[in-house]
Structure 1
Amino acid sequence: MKQLLKSMSVAACVLALHVPGWAADGRGTAAEATAMVQRAVEYLKANGPAKAYAAFNDQAGQFKDRDLYVFVIDFNGKVQAHGANAKLIGKDLMNLKDADDKFFMKEMIDTAKTKGKGWIDYKWPNPVSKAIESKSTYFEKVDDTLVGCGVYK
């Protein structure tokens, strides 16, 4: 019995390390976040904001995976969609500061307007651990909004 449990534990560890998309600690990767944003941008362009935002907000949908989720912010700082916290939808986050007093949302919007896409580092609550953690978010401009997805470090 002990040998069977030991074998099953080893098999589970090997599987966890070799299945694509499974980080060792259950966290999403930068490549997965980038791919999720690209899929979300395509979905938004193909289906329009109403259908896309509903899909992005769906906690059990295709735009939520472990600690990865899609969000949409308009260029006035208003949240249009948020896959981890529906209470943020409709809120103005333009002047939001992170734990280090960084106006990260303003920086994200300014970068989207000028460069079209990019990465921003800041601190944000992790929906899985509930702790404030360092985060890097990848985002792309779509009309007068940005579509983003971040990874916790």
Structure 2
Amino acid sequence: MHKFLKFLTIGLFSLLVSQSIFAAEHGTAQEAEAMVKKAIAYIKSKGPETAYAEFNNTKGSFTDRDLYIFVIDLNGKDLAHGANAKLIGKDFRTLRDVDNKAFIDDILSVAKSKGKGWVDYKWPNPSTKEIEMKSTYFEKAGDVVVACGIYK
């Protein structure tokens, strides 16, 4: 019985350590929301041109592990993207997840009607190369939507 308890204790400890390491590698919902709010404040204080340049900087203050900011206008055009600058200027309304979900349309609809929210979809994780559940937090700020997603 003593060996079983020892094994169980070690197993639980290992599980907790592995989960905390995993969490440290990935952003949380609270961190995504905080980054969006920080980005909106940055746009207001520095102006869009300066802010978008900082958002596009993959080594800048708006990139943290797998968290980054992207900004789209109310028609779905990408204005800034912290993970892939090649996407700037693209129409994101054409994006679909692996289940053909038009998640950008969902983001725009909620942003226009409620001002902020979360949208879930399936998306390739650049770290694992696997399709994973992703959730993006966004807020409407004037005529743009500022967003940051997390992998679940």
Sort the TM-score into its range (normalised by shorter chain).
0.7 to 0.9
Q: 1:135 to 1:48 in 2, by over 3 A?
A: same
Question: In the aligned structure 1, how far is the partner of 2:75 from the partner of 2:129?
Answer: 27
* Structure in which a larger fraction of residues adopt helix: 2
Question: In the aligned structure 2, how far is the partner of 1:130 from the partner of 1:88?
Answer: 19
Question: In the aligned structure 2, how far is the partner of 1:125 from the partner of 1:47?
Answer: 32
Q: How does 1:2-151 map to 2 (within 5 A)?
A: 17=20, 24=23, 26-151=25-150
AA partner of residue 30 (structure 1): A
How big is the shift at 1:95?
2.6
Q: 1:58 to 1:103 in 2, by over 3 A?
A: same
Which residue of 1 is the match for residue 11 of structure 2? none
TM-score, with normalisation over the residues of structure 2? Answer: 0.83
Deviations 1:52-92 (A, max 9, x none): 00000000011001100000011111100000111111100
| Residues 137 and 148, structure 1, Cα contact 8 Å, conserved in 2 | yes
Deviations 1:9-60 (A, max 9, x none): xxxx98x95xxxx753511100000000010010011111100000000000
AA partner of residue 39 (structure 2): A
| Residues 124 and 135, structure 1, Cα contact 8 Å, conserved in 2 | yes
Question: In the aligned structure 2, how far is the partner of 1:37 from the partner of 1:67?
Answer: 14
How big is the shift at 1:130?
2.9
Structure (1 or 2) with the larger CA radius of gyration: 2
AA partner of residue 129 (structure 2): K
Matched residue SS, 2:47 = helix
Unaligned runs of 5+ in 1: 1-12
Unaligned runs of 5+ in 2: 1-15
Matched residue SS, 1:106 = helix
Matched residue SS, 1:146 = strand
TM-score, with normalisation over the residues of structure 1? Answer: 0.83
Question: In the aligned structure 1, how far is the partner of 2:151 from the partner of 2:24?
Answer: 11
How big is the shift at 1:131?
2.5
